[in-house]
């Protein structure tokens, strides 16, 4: 067995004890994938540092722990996403919440005015059976990460969204992931997002914790972006530092589609985002961007993998981090140009500012190129705040602390300005400034008192 | 007396660049400091603004009677000292508005004033843009990012207008400017001149001094001020170059 021996048993046990209840609540197609996924997870285990994707990750701190798990939806006193305003206050969204990975509303599946279907993953798996058979588990089947298979083996609920051909969604869809429990819990949820042809949609996912317990979440999202469609996913992660979160996002892109994935990491003890873009149709374009503003003992990583399967596709990765105190940041960016993928353009950049001697960053480009007519580049920097900029700001009367904040804000803004929704950009700029000032632990305008 | 420099020695690392500068600037005066490349002009500007890469090894500087060398760069700015950079710095992601708002409000706080309201601040920006004659679009961009050489220099004068300094030091503000940009920069400086403000204009060429008329001209050579005279000295330098100064110094 590979991976972290011993730890894996905890999760195999969870499966063995609960598989009956899990199967009772899911559709036959989803259940048919559970046993093979369990066997794969059993073989691969929890990733350790020998796994290239997790080379600099330290998962044991969060995985080697005795969590309870929730197999039925828990109660929550939070009903409305709009009450939960830390993230994006003035932005009009189609909001919904997930509580510990479960869709809490009585109305399990609904059609929005613009024709978009959205609701509970569990409910949709029966009502949209053929769509599930076509897509579910097709993209999240990587041979390099046992945790994806652990999710396929056990997840029962999450968000489902289906955008029919030709639909332009005026409002972003916002999912507020809430973890709230008086016990230490391990959650898994699963999202399936299917966009037809000629569709435009933006999805915002906000991760929050509302109670002071130790949590671990392992979430998988599969996205299908149809021909000529435009899709943006923006993840704003603001969980407390006793919380661990592993996300796996698989974006399958068809001909002439555009998809951007954006991970904004603010708080959270362990945050590890794995983002995959599969460019399977010619003319597809992928952007994968991320920002991590971390301090204390935060341990944060982004693994990005872009597969160019066909010719004439473009991809860009831009990840930036400000690492303070004892925190650790990781960027691991892979570009894989398959033999047929001529005329590929694939670029990658990672810039980091370390604010203390104890702050750490690991950055690892990984390019595999099997076509000969391609343009690829990568670059990484690690440094301290730029002295020339600091002096320039100070020479205008701005004190050292404020000058440093402005410098870091400007540094971070490059990632924020890539986000396609103006109202969200402005809100994120605010959040970044609050985070840099250390004022984000509790948001004044929020009705929910976060831990 | 706004500025008094006594026997200033300073350098970068092991290298001594300024070797005993003495200079006095009175309120209302415009001084020009000229000199060949490498004579120490920019190092002097850096010492005055408080750049930490330059180390002062000997001497003292009094600014309005206060010990300048004990003050941080931001304190110097708030006390009314302004450095126009030879190479203005680009700050991606920080808008000119945010930058100037922070600077103006820090200055106001220092003087015990409330921060400007958003509308008063924008009004001030507009007035100063017009005064200096810079493109109003520049103010909506990130600080100096993608600005041409001329735009960067005009932006320095704009910042000077916003902060209304008592002593401005313009470090080779004319370098890299075409004649139109030079005129705009010089006009800005002239319009900003007040009876209670002083300027030190550092330049390699005489041509800026066709537009900014100095009261006193100094020649800096090998870390020392070797000649001080009226504005006619600039014309003499333009005519004869720096060689005759070098000869004179070497003979002594």
> For A276-288, what is the mean pLDDT?
98
**Token pair of B117 as six digits:** 């309201």
Closest residue in A to B89 (Cα–Cα): A389
Q: State residue A324's pLDDT score.
A: 95
pLDDT given for residue A227 in this prediction: 98
Residue A338 Cα to chain centre, angstroms: 25
Q: Is the pLDDT of residue A375 over 80?
A: yes
B51-78: per-residue pLDDT in tens?
Answer: 999 999 999 999 999 999 999 999 999 9
Taking residues B15-26, report their average pLDDT.
97
What confidence tens digit (pLDDT) does each residue in A115-160 have?
Answer: 999 999 999 999 999 999 999 999 999 999 999 999 999 999 999 9
What total of structural domains would you count in chain B? 1
Taking residues A234-254, report their average pLDDT.
95
Say if residue A451's pLDDT is above 70.
no
- According to the model, what pLDDT value does residue A75 have? 62
Residue A448 has pLDDT above 50, yes or no: no
Of A395, A406, A428, which to mutate for an interface test with B (greatest number of B Cβ within 10 Å)?
A: A395
| Mean confidence (pLDDT) of chain A | 91
- Over residues B90-100, mean pLDDT: 94
| Residue B246 touches partner A, C-beta closer than 8 Å | no
Residue of chain B minimizing CA distance to A411: B93
CA distance A385 to chain B (A): 12
| Portion of chain B with pLDDT greater than 90, in percent | 70
The answer, yes or no, to whether residue B133 has pLDDT greater than 70, is: yes
Q: For A417, name the nearest residue in chain B, comparing CA atoms only.
A: B93
What is the token pair recorded at B156? 């320095």
B51, B82, B94: residue with CB nearest A409: B94
The band of A274, judged by pLDDT with boundaries at 50, 70 and 90, is very high
What string of H, E and C letters represents the secondary structure of A249-265? EEEEECCCCEEEEEEEE
* Cross-chain Cβ contact A409/B93 below 8 Å: yes
Residue among B83, B107, B142 whose CB faces A395 most closely: B83
Contact yes or no for A285/A260 (Cβ under 8 A): no
For A323, other C-beta atoms within 10 Å of its C-beta total 24
**pLDDT in the model for residue B22:** 97
Q: Is B131 left (phi over 0), alpha (psi -120 to 50) or beta?
A: alpha
DSSP β-bridge partners for residue B209: none
Residue A1 has pLDDT above 80, yes or no: no
| Closest approach of A419 to chain B, Cα-based (Å) | 14
Cβ proximity of B145 and B57 under 8 Å: no
**Which residues in chain A touch residue B163, judged by CB atoms under 8 angstroms apart?**
396-397
Nearest to A406 among B76, B85, B102 (CB): B102
Residue A198 has pLDDT above 90, yes or no: yes
Report yes or no: A401 at the B interface, CB cutoff 8 Å: no
Give the number of beta-carbon pairs within 8 Å between A and B. Answer: 80
Q: How large is the ipTM?
A: 0.96
pLDDT digits (tens, 9 = 90+) for A51-62: 999 999 989 989
**A419 at interface of B, judged by CB pairs closer than 8 A:** no
Quick: pLDDT tens for A215-233.
Answer: 999 999 999 999 999 999 9
The reported pLDDT for the residue numbered A370 is 98
Contacts of B59 (CB under 8 A, 6+ apart): B5, B6, B7, B8, B9, B10, B20, B21
Is the Cβ pair A398, B78 closer than 8 Å?
A: no
What CA–CA distance (Å, rounded) separates A199 from A253? 12
Residue pair B131/B148 in contact (Cβ under 8 Å)? The answer is no
Give the Cα-Cα-Cα angle A332, A333, A335 (nearest 5 degrees): 150
Q: How far is it, in rounded angstroms, from Cα A189 to Cα A158? A: 5
**How many other C-beta atoms lie within 10 A of the C-beta of residue A297?**
13
Tens digit of pLDDT for each residue in B215-247? 999 999 999 999 999 988 888 888 888 888 888
Residue B139 clears pLDDT 50, i.e. is over it: yes
B174 confidence band (pLDDT: 50, 70, 90) = confident
CA distance B201 to chain A (A): 17
Residue B186's domain is classified under what CATH number? 3.40.50.300
Confidence of residue A3 (pLDDT cuts 50, 70, 90): low
Pairwise CB contact (< 8 Å): B89 & A392: yes
Q: What is the DSSP letter of A168?
A: B
Q: What would the DSSP string read from start to end of B231-245? A: THHHHHHHHH-SHHH
pLDDT tens digit string along A288-332?
999 999 999 999 999 999 999 999 999 999 999 999 999 999 999
* Host domain of residue B111: 3-251
What is the SS3 assignment for B171?
strand
How far apart CA A427 and CA A89 sit, in angstroms, is 8
- If contacts are CB pairs under 8 Å, which of residues 147-206 in chain A contact chain B? none
Q: Is the pLDDT of residue B178 over 90?
A: no
Q: How high is the pLDDT of residue A130?
A: 95
Paired tokens of A47: 């990733």
Residues 298-337 of A with CB under 8 A from B: none
Query: Whose CA is closest to A239, among A219, A222, A255?
Result: A219
* B-contacting residues in A 280-299 (Cβ below 8 Å): none
> Based on the number of CB atoms within 10 Å of its own CB, is A378 exposed (0-12), middle (13-18) or buried (19 or more)?
middle
The β-bridge relationship of strands A243-253 and B55-63 is: unpaired
What angle in degrees, to the nearest 10, is found between the helix axes of B179-192 and B149-163?
0
Q: Is A105 a residue whose pLDDT tops 80?
A: yes
Closest CA to B220 of B202, B240, B207, B193: B202
- Asked whether the predicted pLDDT for residue B214 surpasses 70, the reply is yes
Give residue A89's pLDDT band: very low, low, confident or very high (50, 70, 90).
low
């Amino acid at each position: 067995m590979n991976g972290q021996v011993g730890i894996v048993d905890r999760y195999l046990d969870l499966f063995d004890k609960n598989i009956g209840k899990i199967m009772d609540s899911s559709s036959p197609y989803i259940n048919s994938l559970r046993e093979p996924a369990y066997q794969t997870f059993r073989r691969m285990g929890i990733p350790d540092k020998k796994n290239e994707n997790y080379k600099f990750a330290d998962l044991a701190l969060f995985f080697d722990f005795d969590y309870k798990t929730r197999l039925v939806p828990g109660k929550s006193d939070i009903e409305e996403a709009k009450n939960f305003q830390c993230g994006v206050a003035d932005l009009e969204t189609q909001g919904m919440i997930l509580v510990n990975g479960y869709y809490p509303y009585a109305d399990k599946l609904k059609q929005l005015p613009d024709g978009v279907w959205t609701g509970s993953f569990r409910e949709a798996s029966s009502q949209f059976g053929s769509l599930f058979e076509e897509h579910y588990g097709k993209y999240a089947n990587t041979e390099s990460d046992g945790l994806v298979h652990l999710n396929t083996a056990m997840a029962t609920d999450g968000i489902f969204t289906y955008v029919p051909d030709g639909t332009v969604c005026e409002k972003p869809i916002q999912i507020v992931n809430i973890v709230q429990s008086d016990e230490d819990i391990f959650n898994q949820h699963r999202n399936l997002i299917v966009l037809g042809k000629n569709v435009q949609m933006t999805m915002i996912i906000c991760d929050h914790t509302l109670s002071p317990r130790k949590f671990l979440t392992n979430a998988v999202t599969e996205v299908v972006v149809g021909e000529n469609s435009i899709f943006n996913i923006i993840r704003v992660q603001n969980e407390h530092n006793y919380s661990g979160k592993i996300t796996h996002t698989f974006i399958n892109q068809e001909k002439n589609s555009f998809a951007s994935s954006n991970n904004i990491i603010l708080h959270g003890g362990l945050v590890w985002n794995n983002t995959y873009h599969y460019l399977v149709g010619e003319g597809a374009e992928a952007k994968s961007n991320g920002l991590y503003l971390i301090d204390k003992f935060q341990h944060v990583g982004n693994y990005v993998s872009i597969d160019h399967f066909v010719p004439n596709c473009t991809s860009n990765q831009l990840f930036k981090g400000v690492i303070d105190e004892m925190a650790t940041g990781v960027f691991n960016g892979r570009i894989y140009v398959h033999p047929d993928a001529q005329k590929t353009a694939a670029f990658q950049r990672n810039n980091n500012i370390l604010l203390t001697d104890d702050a750490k960053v690991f950055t690892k480009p990984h390019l595999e190129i099997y076509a000969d007519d391609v343009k690829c580049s990568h670059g990484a920097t690690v440094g301290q705040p730029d002295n020339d900029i600091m002096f320039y700001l100070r020479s205008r009367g701005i004190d050292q602390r404020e000058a440093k904040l402005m410098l870091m804000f400007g540094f971070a803004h490059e990632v924020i300005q890539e986000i396609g929704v103006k109202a969200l950009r402005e809100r994120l700029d605010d959040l970044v400034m609050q985070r840099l000032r250390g004022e984000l632990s509790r948001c004044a305008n929020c009705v929910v008192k976060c831990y | 007396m706004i500025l008094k420099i006594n026997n200033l020695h300073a350098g970068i690392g092991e290298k001594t660049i300024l070797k005993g500068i003495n200079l006095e600037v009175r309120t209302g005066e415009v001084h020009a400091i000229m000199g060949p490349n490498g004579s120490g002009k920019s190092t002097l500007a850096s010492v005055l603004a408080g750049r930490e890469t330059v180390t002062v090894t000997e001497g003292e500087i009094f600014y309005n009677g206060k010990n300048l060398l004990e003050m941080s760069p931001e304190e110097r700015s708030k006390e009314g000292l302004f450095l126009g950079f030879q190479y203005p710095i680009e700050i991606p992601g920080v808008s000119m508005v945010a930058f100037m708002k922070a600077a103006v409000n820090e200055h106001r706080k220092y003087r015990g004033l409330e921060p400007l309201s958003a509308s008063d601040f924008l009004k001030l920006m507009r007035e100063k843009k017009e005064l200096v004659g810079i493109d109003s679009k520049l103010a909506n961009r990130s600080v100096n990012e993608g600005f041409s050489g001329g735009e960067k220099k005009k932006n320095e004068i704009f910042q000077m207008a916003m902060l209304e300094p008592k002593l401005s030091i313009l470090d080779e503000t004319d370098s890299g400017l075409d004649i139109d940009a030079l005129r705009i920069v010089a006009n800005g400086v002239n319009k900003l001149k007040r009876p209670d403000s002083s300027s030190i204009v550092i330049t390699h060429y005489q041509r800026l001094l066709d537009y900014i008329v100095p009261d006193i001209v100094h020649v800096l050579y090998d870390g020392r001020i070797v000649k001080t005279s009226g504005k006619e000295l600039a014309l003499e330098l333009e005519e004869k170059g720096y060689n005759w100064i070098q000869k004179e110094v070497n003979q002594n």
